[in-house]
Amino acid sequence: MKILLSCSIKYPSHRTASPLSCCSGKVIQSKSVHDFKTCSCGACSVNGGLEYLRRVADGEESYAELSITEEITDTK
Ligand SMILES: [Zn+2]
């Protein structure tokens, strides 16, 4: 059963579409908000493109975060 690890408001700070390294050694990327990608081994998935980072995985040991993120604080 997959667990949702993160749907928090984190934004990639660069334009490489939130890469994620799977425990199987593959790198998967979500290229747009609705571009849901699952690794061929099925251990982890990404979504959110450049808008936010969403990771679905068996556990935190199933992937390594490659995205550089920054917390966006609304100062209005
Ligand atoms: Zn994999």
Mean of per-residue pLDDT scores for the chain: 77
Domain locations in the chain? 3-70
Query: From the CA of 40, how far away is ligand 1's center (Å)?
Result: 6
Query: From the CA of 74, how far away is ligand 1's center (Å)?
Result: 35
From the number of C-beta atoms within 10 Å of its C-beta (0-12, 13-18, 19+), residue 74 rates as exposed
pTM of the predicted model, to two decimals?
0.69
In one-letter notation, the amino acid at residue 22 is C
Inter-residue contact 62 to 5 (CB < 8 Å) = no
CA distances from 68 to 2, 12, 59 (A): 24, 6, 20
Query: From the CA of 18, how far away is ligand 1's center (Å)?
Result: 16
CA–centroid distance for 34 within its chain: 12
For residue range 44-66, what is the model confidence (pLDDT) as tens digits?
999 888 777 788 888 888 888 88
